Structure 1
Amino acid sequence: MPLYEYSPSAGHCEQCAGKFEVFQRIADEKLTQCPKCGQPCERQISRVALGGKFSTSESAIKSSGFTRYQKAENGVYERTAGSGGPEILYRD
């Protein structure tokens, strides 16, 4: 089961230290309230933790179906590995 991070919509909460984690199935509905304080909460996008041996070489990224982007300048990212997604991404 994935571990999801949530944080209060209003910002900070003394009871949940600004965020909390919950094990949930992918099919489960997102939480809408903190189980400790009852404040409205939002699920956060977090980094993925990869275990074991893995490679970030261009060929490994491409063969795994991933795409890597590198910052070219402020707000502009260029695709450096993989074939999915646009060649250039612009931060809004």
Structure 2
Amino acid sequence: MPIYEYIAVAESCSHCCDGFDQLQKLSDPQLSQCPRCGKAVQRKISAPSVAIGGTHLTRESHIEKHGFTQYRKAGGGVYEKTAGKGPDYISGD
């Protein structure tokens, strides 16, 4: 369910004059009145919040669970292990 932002059309209570968020179904009609004071409100156009679901795939516990080893660059051509069952360090020498 999306979270919509609403703001007061005219002077009203502290809840709606600064704006408020409302969790609603897509099929719900948009609010026309503040739920607290009953004054007129309008829906504010705002940027969507999008969560990309792949961040959990790079967690160390996820990497180890699937049998991979993760390294990070330590500098000078040397990489150190951060997760998994591999050598503690890898170097290009």
Unaligned stretches of 5+ residues in structure 2: 55-93
| CA distance in structure 1 between the partners assigned to 2:51 and 2:8 by the alignment | 29
Q: Percent identical across equivalent pairs?
A: 37
The answer on whether the counterparts of 2:8 and 2:40 sit within 8 Å (CA) in structure 1 is yes
Point out the structure with the larger helix share.
Answer: 2
User: Contact 1:9–1:42 (CA<8 Å) still a contact in 2?
Assistant: yes
CA RMSD of aligned residues (A): 2.1
Runs of 4+ in 1 over 6 A off after TM superposition: none
5+ residue gaps, structure 1: 55-92
Count residues with an aligned counterpart. Answer: 54
Query: TM-score scaled by structure 2?
Result: 0.50
Do structure 1's residue 41 and structure 2's residue 30 form an aligned pair? no
Q: Spell out, residue by residue over 1:54-87, the C-alpha distance to the aligned partner (whole angstroms, 9 max, x if none).
A: 8xxxxxxxxxxxxxxxxxxxxxxxxxxxxxxxxx
Larger Rg: 2
